[in-house]
Amino acid sequence: MAIAVCSGSFDPVTYGHLDIISRGAKVFDKVIVAVLINSKKNSLFSVEERVEMLRQATADMSNVEIDSFDGLLIDYMNKRGAKVIIRGLRAVSDFEYEMQVASINKKLDDQIETFFMMTNNQYSYLSSSIVKEVARYKASVADLVPPAIEEALKRKLASE
pLDDT tens-digit map of 114-131: 999 999 999 988 999 999
Kindly list the distances between the CA atom of residue 58 and the CA atoms of 52, 76, 83, 99, in Å, as whole numbers in the listed order: 10, 21, 22, 27
CA-closest candidate to residue 63, choices 20, 19, 33, 89: 33
- Known binding residue 95? Answer is no
pLDDT at 92: 80
Report d(CA 80, CA 3) in Å as an integer. 9
pTM of this prediction?
Answer: 0.94
148 touches 119 (CB < 8 A):
no
Return the pLDDT at 93.
79
41 CB neighbour count, 10 Å cutoff: 9
Give catalytic residue positions. Answer: 17, 41, 90, 128
Give the model's pLDDT for residue 36. Answer: 95
pLDDT the model gives residue 71: 93
* Domains assigned to the chain: 3-159 (3.40.50.620)
17 marked as part of a ligand binding site: yes
**Does residue 22 have a known ligand-binding role?**
no
